[in-house]
Amino acid sequence: MLVRCGACGHRFPVEYRGSACPCGGLLDVRHCPERTAAALRTVFDRRAGAASLARGRVGGEVAASGVWRFRELLLPGDGATLAHPEGDTPIYRREAVSRFAGVADLGLKHEGQNPTGSFKDRGMTVAVSHAARHGATAVACASTGNTSASMAAYAARAGLPALVLVPAGRVAAGKLAQAVAYGARTLMVRGDFDDCLRLCREAADELGVTLLNSINPWRIEGQKTIVLEMLQQRGWQPPDWIAVPAGNLGNTSAFGKALVEARDLGLIDRLPRIAAIQAAGASPFERSYRTDFRKRYSVRAETVATAIRIGDPASHDRAVRSIRDTRGVVARVTDIEILAAKAIIDAAGIGCEPASAASVAGVRKLVRAGTIRPGESVVAVLTGHVLKDAEIVMKYHSTKGRGRHSPTEIPAELRAVARFVRAS
C-alpha cells in the first residue's frame, strides 16, 4: 500500500496525515492486496455472514461493520479501528419509485441508515481510525451538516477534540444538533460552504489539526464500501448504472475508484456506468462535463438540497477520472424535480433528505432523455435520512397540491376525528 499525489505522482508514507501534496494535488491510496479475487470474495462473504452475530456482542463493532469487512482494500494493518458499527445498509425496491423513475429494476441503497444518518460514517470510520493510529491530536472539517455530524460522533468515539465549521444559518437543524450533541466545537461561519472549506484547509496547515473533509484520501477509501457492499449484496453482479447525488464529489470519486479496483482485482467482470447528479443551482461539475471536462467552473451555489449546495467541488479531478473510467454521465435536476422525487420516496415509507432524492430525480431525467434504457438495472444511492431535514418536509406539505398532507389541528372531540376518517 502506498499514498501518491494524483497530480505529480509524489509518494507519501502511509502515516502521512495531510490531505494534499505541496503541489496542490490530492492524494490517492494504492493497494496491493496479496490475495486473489476468489480468496477476497470468500473472506468478504464470510465476514458478511458473521456480521449479524457480531452485532450487539461486546467489542463486536469491527466484525459487524459493513466497512471494515473490506479492510484489505481500505486501511490494512493494526492499530485502533473505530467502528460504530456502520454500513450494512439495505437495498429497497418499491414499485411506486420504479414507476416514477421509469426503470423496472431500480434498487435504492439507503445510506441514511448509517449510525449518524448519512454515508459520511463510512468515510469517517476509516479517516478517524487512520488519524488516531498516526498521532492526530485534534480533527476538523468544513461541512454542510452531515460531515460534521459524523465527524463529531467518531471523534467522540476516539476521544479526540473536534472542530466544525459550518455556514451560518444554512445547515439543517437536525444535522447541527448532532454536531453539538456529540460534543464538537461548532463555529458558524458568515459565508458559504466553500468559505468554510478554505478556512479549514488553512487551519489544518497552520494549526496542525487533521482535516477530515473528503479531500482526505482515507475518507474516499471508506466511501468505496457503498459500492463494494452493494456489489456483494447483488452476488457480485454489477448493475448497469449507479446513480449518486454529487456535491463536493467525494462519493463520485470513491465510486469510480472502487469499481476500477474491483474490476482490476477480478471481483467483477464489467464496470457499471456512474450517473452523477447535481442540483441545477449548484452544478459546476455538470457544466464542466458539457465541455468534455476541458473547463472547470466555480459557481455561487443555491439549492434546497443543502448537502449538495457546493459551488467549487474539491474532488473535481478525481471525479473526472471516475466519469471517464466508467463511461459515466453527469446530469442536473431542478429543486422542483428533487422535491417531487423526494415526495415519492417519502410516501413509499422509505424517506430521505432532499439531496438524496437527486439520484432518483436524475434517473428519471436520464430515462426520459434516452440515456438510461427502461430495461437496464439501476442502483440509486439515497445518501441521508429523512429526519436530517424536517423543516423542508413540513414546508413542502404546507403548500397545496397532490400528495400534500400537512397536519391539521382539531378540537379534542371524536366528531372531529370522524370527519377525517370518512374523508380518507
Ligand X SMILES: *Cc1c(COP(=O)(O)O)cnc(C)c1O
Contact positions toward ligand X, by CB under 6 A? Answer: 118, 120, 146, 214, 245-252, 307-308, 353, 355-356, 383-384
Rounded least distance, CB 140 to Zn ion, Å: 22
Spell 4-27 as b/e; 16+ CB within 10 A means b: bbbeeeeebeeeebbbbbeeebbb
234 binds, among Zn ion, ligand X, none (CB under 5 to 8 A by kind): none
Whole-number minimum distance, CB 220 to Zn ion, in Å? 16
Q: How far is CA 67 from CA 39, 45, 85, 188, in A?
A: 18, 13, 8, 31
**198 CB burial (10 A radius; 0-12, 13-18, 19+):** middle
Q: Which three cell numbers stand for residue 384?
A: 441521508
356 binds, among ligand X, Zn ion, none (CB under 5 to 8 A by kind): ligand X
Query: What secondary structure letter does DSSP report for 93?
Result: -
CB-wise, 129 or 315, nearer to ligand X?
315
Q: Which does 249 bind (CB under 5 to 8 A by kind): Zn ion, ligand X, none?
A: ligand X
| Of residues 51 and 176, the one with the C-beta less far from ligand X | 176
Residue 10 contacts which entry, ligand X, Zn ion, none (Cβ below 5-8 A, type-dependent): Zn ion
CB of 411 to ligand X, least distance (A): 40
Q: What is the DSSP letter of 272?
A: P
Q: Which listed option, ligand X, Zn ion, none, makes contact with residue 124 (CB within 5 to 8 Å by class)?
A: none
Is the bond preceding residue 85 a cis peptide, omega within 30 degrees? yes
Contacted entry of ligand X, Zn ion, none for residue 248, CB cut-off 5 to 8 Å set by kind: ligand X
Residue 70: strand, helix, or coil: helix
To ligand X, the closest distance from the beta carbon of 405 in angstroms equals: 24
Cell numbers for 208, please give them: 496542525
- Looking at the Cβ atoms of 234 and 296, the one nearer to Zn ion is 296
Q: Are 277 and 341 in contact (CB under 8 A)?
A: no
Grid coordinates representing 207 are 494549526
The sign one gets for the Cα dihedral 230, 244, 222, 118 is negative
Nearer to ligand X, 62 or 328 (CB): 328
What stretches of 95-154 adopt beta strand conformation (E)?
105-110, 139-142
Q: Contact positions toward Zn ion, by CB under 5 A?
A: 5, 7-8, 10, 21, 23, 25
Nearer to ligand X, 62 or 341 (CB): 341
For ligand X, the closer of residues 146 and 326 by Cβ is 146
Per DSSP, what are the bridge partners of residue 331? 277
If contact means CB under 5 to 8 A according to the sort of partner, which of Zn ion, ligand X, none does residue 178 touch? none
CB nearer to ligand X: give 225 or 356: 356
Minimum CB distance to ligand X, residue 39 (Å): 31
Least spacing, CB of residue 12 vs Zn ion, in Å: 9
Q: What is the DSSP string of 331-383?
A: EEE-HHHHHHHHHHHHHTT----HHHHHHHHHHHHHHHTTSS-TTSEEEEEE-
Among ligand X, Zn ion, none, partner that 214 touches (CB below 5 to 8 angstroms by kind) = ligand X
Least separation, in Å, of the C-beta of 205 and Zn ion? 15
CB of 28 to Zn ion, least distance (A): 11
Nearer to ligand X, 133 or 286 (CB): 286
